[in-house]
Amino acid sequence: MIEIKDVSFSYKQTDGMKQLKDINLNINKGEVICLAGASGCGKSTLIRLLNGIIPTFFSR
């Protein structure tokens, strides 16, 4: 199971504008999900955070 709660993230060069704000996600073992949204909404950023490619972020 993958579970994240209240994840927020912003890149340094965006002057504090958050690409992700208070994201909650639960993925159960064997479950397949799809991330969909407009360009620039944070889909790739979320995947990079989950994979550890972006090492630092705030969550509860």
Q: How many structural domains does the chain have?
A: 1
Per the structure, the complete domain to which residue 21 belongs is given by 2-51
Residue 47 neighbours by CB distance under 10 Å: 12
pLDDT at position 58, please?
56
Q: Which two tokens stand for residue 37?
A: 């949204």
Position 58 in a domain: no
- β-strand 2-9 against 20-27: which pairing, if any? antiparallel
Q: Which residues of the chain have pLDDT under 50?
A: none
Residue 21 neighbours by CB distance under 10 Å: 12
pLDDT at position 60, please?
56
User: pLDDT digit string (tens) for 26-42?
Assistant: 999 999 999 999 998 88
Residue 46 neighbours by CB distance under 10 Å: 21
Statement: the pTM of the whole predicted model exceeds 0.85: no
Position 33 in a domain: yes
